Amino acid sequence: MADVVQWNLGPLPRKERVFRGQDPLQMNFSDEQLRQRFRFGRESIEYISDLLRDDLQRSTSRCTALSVEEQVMISLRFFASGSHLHVIGDTMGHDKATVSRVLTKFTDALIAKRDQFIKWPCTPDKLNATKNGFYEKAGFPNVIGCVDGTHVRIQAPEDDEPSFVNRKGFHSVNVQGICDQNCLFTNVSANWPGSCHDAHVFKTSAVGIHLQDQYTSIEQGVVLGDSGYPCRPFLLTPFRQPREQREHNFNRAHITTRCTIERTFGIWKQRFRLLKTGIRMRPDRACKFILACAILHNIAMMLKEPIIDNDDIPEEQPMIQPYMGQQDGRGIRNHYATNFFS
C-alpha cells in the first residue's frame, strides 16, 4: 500500500477583494466628455444628485454601497444610450440586477418631483409670457401651448399586445406632449398604447379635461394642434382646404408656431437615445422611463445644457407591408406614393 504523502502548505493566501464600480465624476472627464456619455455636464449631474439625495441615499455604512452620484449616472447612462441593462452594467462596473434596481429607485424618485419641472402656465404672469413668446414666432396671438403626439417604440407586451401596435405597424406608447415657447414640456401624458388616436389621448388627458371644463372665454388662450385633433374653442387646428387669403395666412402662422412641439420632440429624442432605439421593458415600466426623460429634458433646458448630436442614430424605417399588386415599376411606385408620401 502506497504511503500517503502529506503536504504542509501553510495557510492559503486570501483572495484579494475586488470592489466593482466606479464614480465617473471622480475621473478626469471634461464637461464635453460627460455630456457625450450622460447628456449632462458636471454641475448639472451634481444638481440632479442633490435634488434626489434624500431619496437615493443608502442607509448603510458599507463601503461598497453605491453613492447617490453613481446611481444618478447609471440612470443617465441608460437614458442617454438606450443600451441593454447588462451593457450599462458592464460599462459602469455593476451587474444587471444592480442596474435594474437603481433605475427603478431613480425613476420613482424623479417622477415624485414632476410637478416642480412640468408645470402648466396658470399664473397671469406665466400666461402672458407664454403668449408673448409664441406671438414673436409668427404673429399668432393668444397661444398658451402646442400639442402633438409621438410614438416611443417598446417591446411587444404579453398582455393586450394588439392594442400597442400603432398605424405604422410597430409596438409603441403614444406620448402626448404640450410645450411652451421655449421648448419646455408643460404637460406630458404617456399612458396610452400605440393604437390610440391623438384626439382620444387629448380628450381623456388631465389637461384636456381641464380645458374642456374651465374654458369660458377666448382671453384664457388657445392650444394649437394639427388636423388630427378636432377644432374646439380652446384647441385650434388648421383649415383643411383654405380658400381665402386670410385662411392661408392663418395656416402659415399656425404651422410656424405649432412646429415648436415638433422641435421639442426632436430635441427630447436626440438627447435621450432610449426614446429612439426603443424601450425593451413592459409597458408600465416603459411609461415611467418616458416620463422621467421628459422631466430630465426640462431640467436640461432650464440648466441650458447643450444638445449633443447623435449622428450615429439611423432614422427609423417605416414598416414595409406586403405588396400584392401589379409587379412592375409603376405599380410599385404608386404603392410607395400611397403608403409613404400621402
End-to-end Cα spacing for the chain: 92
Asked if 81 and 90 touch (Cβ cutoff 8 Å), the reply is no
Q: What is the DSSP letter of 144?
A: E
SS3 94: coil
Amino acid at 151: H
Q: pLDDT category, 91, cuts 50, 70, 90?
A: confident
* In the block, residue with C-alpha cell 434596481: 101
Asked if 145 and 179 touch (Cβ cutoff 8 Å), the reply is yes
Rounded to an integer, what distance in angstroms lies between the CA atom of residue 14 and that of residue 81?
39
Asked if 185 and 178 touch (Cβ cutoff 8 Å), the reply is yes
Q: pLDDT category, 315, cuts 50, 70, 90?
A: very low
Check residue 56 and give its pLDDT: 95
* In the block, residue with C-alpha cell 464614480: 23
Q: pLDDT category, 16, cuts 50, 70, 90?
A: very low
Check residue 144 and give its pLDDT: 96
**Does the pLDDT at position 20 exceed 90?**
no
Strand partners, 222: 143
How much of the chain, in percent, has pLDDT values that exceed 90? 71
Check residue 260 and give its pLDDT: 97
Give the DSSP per-residue string, 272-315: -THHHH-B-S-HHHHHHHHHHHHHHHHHHHHTTPPPPP-TTSPP
The total of other beta-carbon atoms located within 10 Å of residue 333's CB is: 10
Check residue 340 and give its pLDDT: 55
Check residue 270 and give its pLDDT: 95
Check residue 266 and give its pLDDT: 96
